[in-house]
Chain A
């Protein structure tokens, strides 16, 4: 069992548990089941002062057996309105999860990158054209209210 992936994932798990205090935007990052280190879940918190504020966004992370040479597969399981996230499948368009991946990254840094993607959308390579079009037209009020609505609809289950 002690393949390179498992060793590395164990290390990451330990490091994550130790540094849990230093991650403000990451509520949770752990394997779905303790005995399967190749399937993780995470919960991102919407940054304060953004349209995503108050939302909890769940991520599903699948680690390939050739990790860290190949990137993990990550998608949102919570519906989220974002120009670079597919509204239906939750697929994320982020260069570091595809072509720009390097083995020096780890799950924690990837989650931080996704968290910063939420506040810094890239409308030039959209997966959600409607949101991207609003941004490209400069309709920040429309965009923000749309995002706020979807955040309230899908990412705040407790308040409903």
Chain B
């Protein structure tokens, strides 16, 4: 199984509160982190999908049995966000926590943990930490290469101190072991109080730059100009225009507003948004400040920001006046109020006939085969998935929902088939039993008739039972057997249609799968035939 199973008990005992937090962020039904957390009247929280599924069957809270209903579900957005973020940071946090508990003597292992982390999504501080780990490892291996007596080595000590620190909560502060790397990369931009790196450059730059740009930007600016002396004198005073959000020099604000924004025109000189300008190299910003956008375009921006910049500049935002502003501003910052999706209403399946239900399914783009029960289940399942999706802050697309439905359909059919097989096996067993019983009775009958035929050879006792009871009993049993086999036959006849439907359905499904496979194979062949050489090379 390839999926990742997590549990509150993953946290070490020493971190009891973390266990508590973890278990409180989980849905009591599926035991996963809350997806689209919904709160009931009784203040218990569940995944939207889980609680909807439960409320389909029963109208009580799963935790406290207070009666409730779907209409009383309320979104708990902040809890959902907490759960989402905790889930995202869980792996890293767990590693850190475990590292902090490990004894000092195993630094190599901690290094490996830090090294294997996927850092793409993490903050610069965490990146730095990884860098420190890498440096520490390199240093350690270097030491091993030399002699093993260098325990008093500065770097080694610092590194073990670093792992001690994480236990006391100051997880991400960096010490001298990180200095060799940090000095050349982001050292200058460190302004947080925990990182008091005795670096004169950092002090000077943080004092001199009146407008503090983002950390990445400063580090990027270093790459663009390797001479730090020039940079420290650089000062810029660009601000975002309160009306059109374009970057303008602070001194020009009033004239810009009077001249352009209030008259509904566009500033021909300063017409790049501040967020875009911030991604430029310092020289470009300086030029922009002086001359506007006309010249700054030709100047080199930091390489990793090029794509972002071109993405912005390819769709220049222009404002003509006040009227369009609010909506455009909203759209730009991504805060436009997305209309709440409409939840699908529940259907009263008992008043719908097959045709109507089929139509409803068709409207939703769902398959319409199968009997009414299957269609009903399918509709209910889709309703749950769809409505739960509406509650999510990270909603899926309709296509993804349909994919989930396909999956559901497959498992449902498999379950159905399994149940069917079980039922058939049971029936067979019953029939077998009935037959055996019949045979046994026949033998007994034969024996008893023998007994009645030969009364002289047997004692009087057996003779009386033989004549009095047995034929009667045998008759009864025969009747019972006949009834049982009739009932089995009737059951078979009654369900024959169902079986046939099912078999036809399965055949259709298999055919469809076959077709899809053939198509995929054809496509794969086409794709493979065009570049013949590359695939084997890649494999090698």
Question: Is A14's CB under 8 angstroms from B29's CB?
Answer: no
**Which residues 46-100 of B sit at the A interface, judged by CB distance below 8 A?**
50, 53-54, 57, 60, 62-63, 65
Beyond A69-B54, A103-B62, 17 extra complex contacts between A and B, CB < 8 Å: A3-B411, A8-B30, A8-B31, A10-B1, A11-B5, A11-B7, A14-B9, A15-B7, A18-B7, A19-B9, A65-B415, A69-B53, A70-B57, A100-B65, A103-B50, A104-B28, A104-B63
* Distance to closest chain B CB from A104 (angstroms): 4
* B469 contacts the other chain (CB 8 A): no
Interface size class of B (residues with CB under 8 A): 20 to 34
B residues within 8 A CB of A100? Answer: 65
Question: Is A104's CB under 8 angstroms from B62's CB?
Answer: yes
* B32 contacts the other chain (CB 8 A): yes
| Given A7-B30, A65-B411, A104-B28, residue A2 in contact with residue B63 (CB < 8 A) | no
Q: How far is the CA of A119 from the CA of B30 in the complex (A)?
A: 31
Q: How far is the CA of A70 from the CA of B54 in the complex (A)?
A: 9
Question: Is B32's CB under 8 angstroms from A7's CB?
Answer: yes
Question: Is A2's CB under 8 angstroms from B5's CB?
Answer: no
* A141 contacts the other chain (CB 8 A): no
Question: Is A2's CB under 8 angstroms from B1's CB?
Answer: yes
* B3 contacts the other chain (CB 8 A): yes
Q: How far is the CA of A102 from the CA of B28 in the complex (A)?
A: 10
**Which residues 1-49 of A sit at the B interface, judged by CB distance below 8 A?**
1-4, 6-8, 10-12, 14-15, 18-19
Name B29's contact: one of A3, A6, A10, A68 (CB within 8 Å): A68
| Given A7-B32, A69-B54, A69-B57, residue A102 in contact with residue B65 (CB < 8 A) | yes
Question: Is B54's CB under 8 angstroms from A7's CB?
Answer: no
Q: What residues make up the interface of B, taking CB atoms closer than 8 Å to A?
A: 1, 3, 5, 7, 9, 28-32, 50, 53-54, 57, 60, 62-63, 65, 411, 415
**Which residues 94-136 of A sit at the B interface, judged by CB distance below 8 A?**
100, 102-104
Closest 7 CB pairs of A and B: A104-B28, A103-B29, A102-B62, A103-B62, A18-B9, A11-B31, A104-B62
Q: Could you give 13 example pairs across A and B, Cβ below 8 Å?
A: A1-B1, A4-B30, A11-B5, A11-B31, A14-B5, A14-B9, A19-B9, A65-B411, A68-B29, A100-B65, A102-B63, A103-B62, A104-B28
* Distance to closest chain A CB from B9 (angstroms): 5
Question: Is A14's CB under 8 angstroms from B30's CB?
Answer: no
Of all chain A residues, the one with the shortest Cβ separation from B32 is A7
B residues within 8 A CB of A102? Answer: 60, 62-63, 65
A residues within 8 A CB of B28? Answer: 103-104
Q: How far is the CA of A121 from the CA of B415 in the complex (A)?
A: 36
State the main secondary structure of chain A at its contact with B. loop
B residues within 8 A CB of A11? Answer: 5, 7, 31
Of all chain A residues, the one with the shortest Cβ separation from B49 is A4
Name B3's contact: one of A7, A65, A104 (CB within 8 Å): A7
A residues within 8 A CB of B3? Answer: 2, 7
A residues within 8 A CB of B7? Answer: 11, 14-15, 18
* Distance to closest chain A CB from B400 (angstroms): 15
Of all chain A residues, the one with the shortest Cβ separation from B50 is A103
* Distance to closest chain B CB from A109 (angstroms): 11
Q: How far is the CA of A100 from the CA of B60 in the complex (A)?
A: 10
Of all chain A residues, the one with the shortest Cβ separation from B407 is A3
* Distance to closest chain B CB from A153 (angstroms): 28
| Given A8-B31, A11-B31, residue A103 in contact with residue B411 (CB < 8 A) | no
Question: Is A15's CB under 8 angstroms from B9's CB?
Answer: yes
A residues within 8 A CB of B63? Answer: 102, 104
B residues within 8 A CB of A104? Answer: 28-29, 62-63
B residues within 8 A CB of A65? Answer: 411, 415
Q: How far is the CA of A14 from the CA of B63 in the complex (A)?
A: 22
Q: How far is the CA of A3 from the CA of B50 in the complex (A)?
A: 13
**Which residues 67-109 of A sit at the B interface, judged by CB distance below 8 A?**
68-70, 100, 102-104
* Distance to closest chain B CB from A67 (angstroms): 10
A residues within 8 A CB of B5? Answer: 7, 10-11, 14
B residues within 8 A CB of A10? Answer: 1, 5
Of all chain A residues, the one with the shortest Cβ separation from B410 is A3
Of all chain B residues, the one with the shortest Cβ separation from A6 is B1
Q: How far is the CA of A3 from the CA of B415 in the complex (A)?
A: 12
Q: How far is the CA of A18 from the CA of B11 in the complex (A)?
A: 12
